[in-house]
Amino acid sequence: MPIQLIIRQRAKGTEGHFAPGRLFTFAAGPLRLGSASGCECPLPQSEQVPAEAATLDLEPATGIWFLLPAAGSAVTVNQVAATGRTVISSGDEIGCGPWSIHFHKNYPPVAYARRADLLAVMAKVLLGLILFAEVALVTWLPQRLNQSRLWELAISRQRATLLLDDLRHQLVAVKPRNDLEQAAYKITGDQLDQMAIYLRRNQDRLDRDQWRRIQEDLDGCRVILERLKSGAAFQPAPPIDLTGAVRAVTSGK
C-alpha cells in the first residue's frame, strides 16, 4: 500500500501544524530518513539530523510499517523516544531534530456496492415521482375545484328551475275552499310568477348562495300548496267556553 510522508519544520501552535510541507510518496520500503543525499526521504541539513536517522520498512506478510532508529540517533514517534523497532500507523508523527514527518497510508478509494448504487437510483426516481406528483396536484386541484363549483352551480340552477315549473303546475290543481285559502292561493301564485320573471332575467348572473336562497323560498311555497290541497292550511279556532271560564272565576272567589 503506498504511503505519504509530509515533512514540516517544527513550530509552536497552529503555525507549524498548518504550514506547507514537502510531500513524498512511496510504494514500498525500505526508506532511509536522514540528511544524506542518498536517503530516499531526505531531510534538510541540520546539526541535529544525522546522515541516516532511521529506516522505514514494510512487512509484506502483514502490511505493517515499522520504524527502526539508527544507532545514536534521537528519533521520536508521537513525541515519544523510539528506542527500537516501532510500529508506525497512519497519522503518526515521526520527529527528527527540528523536523516532523507525518506518516499517512494512501488507502484506495472504496467503490460503491451495486446495491448502494441501486438504492441511490431508486431514491432519485422516488424523489422525481414525488416532485412530479406535487406539481400535478398543484396544477390539477384548482381546475378540479373550479369544475366542481361549476357543476354545483348547474345542479342548483336545474333543481330550482324544475321545482318552480312543478309548483306552477300544482297551483292549477289547487281549489281554495274559503276566503283565507283564496288569499293564500293568490299570494303564492303571485310569488311564483314574480320568481319566474326574475329568473328569466337574472339566472345567468346568480351564484350558488343565491340559488340556495331561491330553493328555500320555493320549498316554502311547496309547503303552502300542499296544505292548501289537503285543506290543512288554516285550522278553525277552538270554541271559547265562556261558562267554564265564569265557573272557574266564581269558584276562585
Task: Indicate whether 86 and 163 sit together in one domain.
Answer: no
Q: Let me know if residue 61 belongs to a domain.
A: yes
Task: Indicate whether 225 and 168 sit together in one domain.
Answer: yes
**250 CB-near residues (< 8 Å, 6+ apart):** none
Look at residue 14 in the predicted model and tell me its pLDDT.
Answer: 54
User: Which cell numbers in the block locate residue 229?
Assistant: 290541497
State which residues of the chain have pLDDT below 70: 11-19, 110-114, 116, 145, 233-242, 244-246, 248-249, 252-253
> Is the whole-model pTM more than 0.85?
no
Task: Indicate whether 155 and 188 sit together in one domain.
Answer: yes
Q: Where is the domain boundary, 62, 88, 105?
A: 105
Task: Indicate whether 125 and 62 sit together in one domain.
Answer: no
Q: Let me know if residue 253 belongs to a domain.
A: no
Task: Indicate whether 12 and 100 sit together in one domain.
Answer: yes
Look at residue 35 in the predicted model and tell me its pLDDT.
Answer: 85
Look at residue 12 in the predicted model and tell me its pLDDT.
Answer: 58
Residues of the domain holding 79 = 3-105
Q: How many domains is the chain partitioned into structurally?
A: 2
Task: Indicate whether 135 and 40 sit together in one domain.
Answer: no
Q: Let me know if residue 29 belongs to a domain.
A: yes
Q: In a 3-state reduction of DSSP, which class is residue 47?
A: coil
Calpha distance 149→147 (Å, rounded): 5
Look at residue 98 in the predicted model and tell me its pLDDT.
Answer: 85
Q: Let me know if residue 245 belongs to a domain.
A: no
Task: Indicate whether 100 and 121 sit together in one domain.
Answer: no
Nearest residue to 67 (alpha-carbon basis) of 80, 83, 54, 81: 54
